[in-house]
A and B are shown apart, each in its own frame.
Chain A
Amino acid sequence: MIYRVTHLTSYAYGEPVDLAHHLLHLTPRHLPNQIVLMNKIITAPPAARNVTHQDHFGNEVTMLMMGETHEDFSVQARAEVDVSAPNVPRPSATPKIANVASILQKADTPDAIETSEFTYASPFVGLDADIREYAAQSLSTDVPILAGALDLTRRIYQDFAYTPGTTAISTPVADVLKARNGVCQDFAHVAIAGLRAHGLAARYVSGYIRTYSSDSSAFRGADASHAWFDVWCGEYGWIGLDPTNDLIVRDEHIVLAIGRDFGDVSPVSGVILGGGRQHLTVAVTVTPLDEAGQA
């Protein structure tokens, strides 16, 4: 399925900004099941410096600098991406949690060593007894890994209220766990923390989910950038799960960037001089292209 993505972020500053540095993770990744056909990032005002590099996780980072005084800033990211559904194994066929945890703990192959990076606590994903206990119900050692992760995903979907606008980006996992509400990134962080607390590997995925026009079929998180997680399933590799919508990632998610947590891959961040109070508008549409290339 080929999607056209447009992602507009605009800031109206209360006071002029004299100097701005922005850091963007807005270029979709090339992945086995995701081919980027086109991508473009347009900013207003245009950046005096615009450079890209690949980060530690293989994501493309765009760095912008604006040295002239300005009162608005907008960044429009457009892309066309061909997404195909990955082969997802039957959950019951995946290796047992104990086996996966043991591979990661031994970490004696390059693959396991690289993967073990995603077993540790990270700035937004603290590991403590509470999160371990919450996840324990889903993650018994003799349960197949994907079955356990799916159960955890379903429980987060059921136990946590989806409440856009209630959390700041820095909400610690422990607070989300107590409040039992949040947005997509909080749910992803809870799942990741739960898995890591049991010695498993999980990583944060930032991206988009397909936009449906009718409310009944709409996904949560489709009108902004979205987030979910990947769990490592031994020989089956990384499998994406979306706790906000309680589903396995197939061909309706578009991956922008992968990291340990939100902090590694936030779509738009930066440092500005001035600005005052700011008004932010975000709009995302993800629509399939038909064969003639029309949205």
Chain B
Amino acid sequence: MISHRPLDPSASAGGAVETDLYPGAFDEMVTGDGTVRSHWRGVLAAISALPRGAMAERSERARQQFAENGVTYNIHADPRAGDRPYRFDVMPLVIDADEWATIEAGVVQRARLIEAILADAYGAQNLVCQGAYPSYLLHANPEFLRPCRNALPDGRRHMGLGVVDLIRTPDGRWQVLSDRTQAPAGIGFALENRRVLARTFPEGLRSASVRPLQPFFDLWTAVMGEQAQGGNINPRGVVLSAGPTEDNYFEHIYLARQLGLMLTEGADLTSRGGKIYLKTLGGLQQVDVILRRIDSNLSDPLELDGDSAFGVSGLLDAVRSGGVHLINMLGSGLVETPAFGAYFPAISKRLFDEELILPTLERIWLGSADAMAQMTKDFDSYVIRDTCAPRATPQIVNHMTDKAKAELLARIAVDPRRYTAQVLVTPSVTPTWTPSGLQPRPVILRTFVLSHGDGIAVLPGGLARVPTDGNPFHAPLQKGGIAKDVWVLTSQRASFTVPGPAARPELEIRRTSGELPSRAADNLYWLGRYAERLDFSSRILRTALLRLVGGGLGARDMLELGVVAQVASINGLIETQAAAARPDSRMLAAALTDDAVIGALAGLFEKTAATATPVRDRFSADMWGVLGHLLNDTRDRLVKAAGDPDRLLGALGHVLRAVAAVAGMASENMTRGTGWRFFDLGRRVERAVQTLMVVTEVSYHPAVSVESALTLILELCDSTITYRTRYLSALQPGPVLDLVLADDTNPRAVGYQLVRILRHLRQVPGTIDTGGSLEPSADLMIAEQALEMIEKIDYASLQTLVDVTGLKPALENIARELQAASDALSRRHFSHVTTGHSYVLEVGE
């Protein structure tokens, strides 16, 4: 019987010890007579040596680190809902060396068995034809993908990375709860857990000889490298993700970094002639191996689900002809169905003459009358699972009302084949930090296995999860639960043999990466534009509010407020009607602070987020942190300030500083590669366009005086200080316009933007399908014309406001040219980002 003594003295005072919550459960830490198992002593001693309350503080630090590192489930599916926080327990699950040896052998055996079953199902199909498992599990299984039959070239594996979820039954045996073979998640979280724990609870890790995780990842990196097709000396691997809306997107980014792969979505890849290519600004680059993180069915609209927007048409064809290798192969999810495991023991006997080292937790497929009778007799002792929907929530019969039980039974009776009954067992419990100290909680152990060459390796560790919804048979990562690190103890520092770097040719030193995916370039360009637009919009609103809150509205404030309101309406911040209202009217005051103007700004935040998130993998953690601050904290502050001009002013100041921090981080931390160029191009184009708009609108306003016009232009273009240092307080049209339009030493001037735009355009690679034409691109020529036009203006001759308004046609012309250059750039680089659509010829017309 369990009775953990509270180990943190600070916690014991208020917290009651919970016992008997999980009657009969095996206790991971304490034996039946209350003795602490020897492999837990190290970590417990380390905790005892810590000062009072330390573990609570360590927990908080760990929480912060996960938040800072961006570890979340689902970061962008609903920007308003925000990310689900990651819950982590600093108390690890400790497993001793002997026990691990059994688990490891069992997982290796299972991986070999699963590979054999998949190879048979997609090959000769002897097993099903000989009745080794029911036809239903293959033929009615939505994960049996018929186009994949005989598609995998000899010598390749169906399952590269697999997951085995284990649960320890009261008799002390680890048993298999489920097999995950599709695109199993969690290994990135497992590694991140270890890293955070190593920083927040180093005494614990030092207290025992814990096997490191890194060698497994080194092996994995090497395995990915071995998959080069056709003797490519520098094999290219990519992660194929469904993108930021995916629950486990964090892990996709994480694994891409960890394994040195490029993070891609279906739109980044294209299939030509039985090979897969990455679409980059520098052209098509062959891909040798794909770490597939989207479901098989969605992976190839040509042969699989034609409606999928995530896949690559022709992917399966490329696999079939040996042009690319997938980890895991399409269709590998077949054996995830909970019923399959029931037949593993017999198949293991048949194929290898081996008993399973790790038994499958007992279950019966209800496809026969006998099975139904057995299940019905003892209904309460089962958990009902969907035979063909491995991720559906298992129904714990014992937890149901009588009415619900009767309904479930009736549902099963309609088509019993659709259900599988798994015995209800109590999982083992392991010490877990709770507000009332260390308490026993049920735990599931997720183990990871990698098949490579002739070997199979198991991660010496894993992801332990404490379910929080009372259903231990179902703990998908994104449904919450508490994660734990898993410590596998060892007497000696065992490790994997990793093929040395000597096997691979030396890399040429490069200072460019012509391989920026076109989609990433597109996103970075628009990220630059939206971030800059956010900056200008905030500045416009701030300029207006400064006059609004300035006490009694003087005549000049009134006038300037009216002019800025006009600019704000041009930028879509407020209604034209409100902008035309009297500057001292309530209507305008309300329009400048109400939900609508905040909504307009929030819209820009969302566009910025939508372009930033897909290229998240291209930013350093610090850069992402700064972006995250802008897009979350700053935005929240702004939204909360709605209706209050004073608070709004403060919030707008934060926005401006946060945008500046992003720009500063980009300028200091991004290598001057193509990605940075596109980001900066976007900012420059937007700033030039906005500046031209401000100059034109302000000077053209019918009511404006020359003083006010020049004040506002300098303020909106953030050039007031520069002007004052040069000319003191005398405002004259010539010097002001020279400063904001032509001066190529003023980073706010249009001329400065154009010089940089031209520099970038001369550096970005050509299009994908040019035949190597050397003619200057349309965007470059247009931008050159714009610069010429800006430089041609005789600024010294501008004496009056009338002279300035006379520039309007010229300035509008330059703005149009810039827009044309931006369009030409998009056509040149981003147009092939689009994906195809599927069609099917109708029959019988």
Contacts and interface: CB of A to CB of B under 8 A. Distances in A.
A292 interface: no
B844 A224 contact: yes
Contact of A55 (B134, B149, B272): B149
Contacts of A273: 834-836
Nearest to A266: B840
Nearest to B414: A129
Nearest to A112: B135
A107 B135 contact: yes
Contacts of B147: 55-56
Contacts of B302: 21, 23, 63, 270-271
A20 B130 CA distance: 42
Contacts, number: 129
Interface in B457-482: none
A156 to B, nearest CB: 14
Given A48-B273, A114-B129, A19 B836 contact: yes
A98 to B, nearest CB: 16
Contacts of B146: 55-57, 264
Contacts of B834: 273
A63 B843 contact: no
B843 A262 contact: yes
Interface string A167-184: 011000000000000011
A63 B317 contact: yes
Contacts of B625: none
A113 B129 contact: yes
Given A116-B139, A120-B139, A169 B313 contact: no
A173 to B, nearest CB: 15
A93 interface: no
* Listed residue (A54, A65, A164) with the most chain B CB atoms within 10 angstroms of its CB: A65
B842 A116 contact: no
A117 interface: yes
Contacts of A165: 845
Contacts of B128: 113
A183 to B, nearest CB: 3
A51 interface: yes
Nearest to B147: A55
A214 to B, nearest CB: 21
A271 B317 CA distance: 13
Contacts of B313: 21, 271
Interface string A18-44: 111101000000000000000000000
Contact of B843 (A19, A54, A184): A184
A89 interface: no
A286 to B, nearest CB: 15
A270 B838 contact: yes
Most interface-central of A55, A165, A226, A275 (chain B CB within 10 A) = A55
A9 interface: yes
Contacts of B274: 49, 51
Interface string A230-264: 00000000000000100000000000000000101
A59 B832 CA distance: 34
Contact of B839 (A57, A225, A270): A270
A132 B841 CA distance: 29
A270 B274 CA distance: 15
A211 interface: no
Given A21-B271, A269-B306, A272-B836, A224 B845 contact: yes
B405 interface: no
Interface residues of B, number: 41
Nearest to B417: A120
Contacts of B837: 271-272, 275
A110 B140 contact: no
Contacts of B839: 269-272, 278
Given A53-B320, A113-B128, A226-B844, A271 B272 contact: no
Nearest to B769: A18
Interface in B302-333: 302-303, 306, 313-314, 317, 320-321
A282 B314 contact: no
B131 interface: yes
A161 interface: no
B273 A227 contact: no
Given A57-B146, A116-B135, A169 B842 contact: yes
Given A55-B149, A113-B129, A282-B845, A65 B314 contact: yes
A267 to B, nearest CB: 6
A202 to B, nearest CB: 14
A110 B843 contact: no
B270 interface: yes
Given A23-B303, A51-B321, A65-B273, A226 B843 contact: yes
B188 interface: no
Given A56-B149, A226-B844, A266-B841, A51 B272 contact: no
Nearest to A48: B273
A185 B314 CA distance: 27
A9 B843 contact: no
A54 B844 CA distance: 25
B727 interface: no
Given A23-B303, A56-B149, A272-B837, A51 B317 contact: yes
A279 to B, nearest CB: 13
A121 interface: yes
A168 B842 CA distance: 7
A110 B130 contact: yes
Nearest to B272: A67
A5 to B, nearest CB: 15
Interface in B284-315: 301-303, 306, 313-314
A268 B841 contact: yes
A108 interface: yes
B843 A227 contact: yes
Contacts of B270: 19
A256 B314 CA distance: 23
Contacts of A264: 146
Contacts of A262: 843
B136 interface: yes
A288 interface: no
A269 B841 contact: yes
B373 to A, nearest CB: 16
10 contacts: A23-B303, A49-B273, A56-B146, A56-B147, A63-B314, A113-B129, A117-B139, A226-B843, A271-B314, A282-B845
Interface of A: 9, 18-21, 23, 48-49, 51, 53-57, 63, 65, 67, 107-108, 110, 113-114, 116-117, 120-121, 164-165, 168-169, 183-186, 206, 221, 224-227, 244, 262, 264, 266-275, 278, 280, 282
Given A183-B843, A270-B838, 14 more contacts: A49-B273, A51-B274, A56-B147, A63-B314, A65-B314, A107-B131, A183-B845, A266-B840, A267-B843, A270-B839, A271-B838, A271-B839, A273-B835, A275-B837
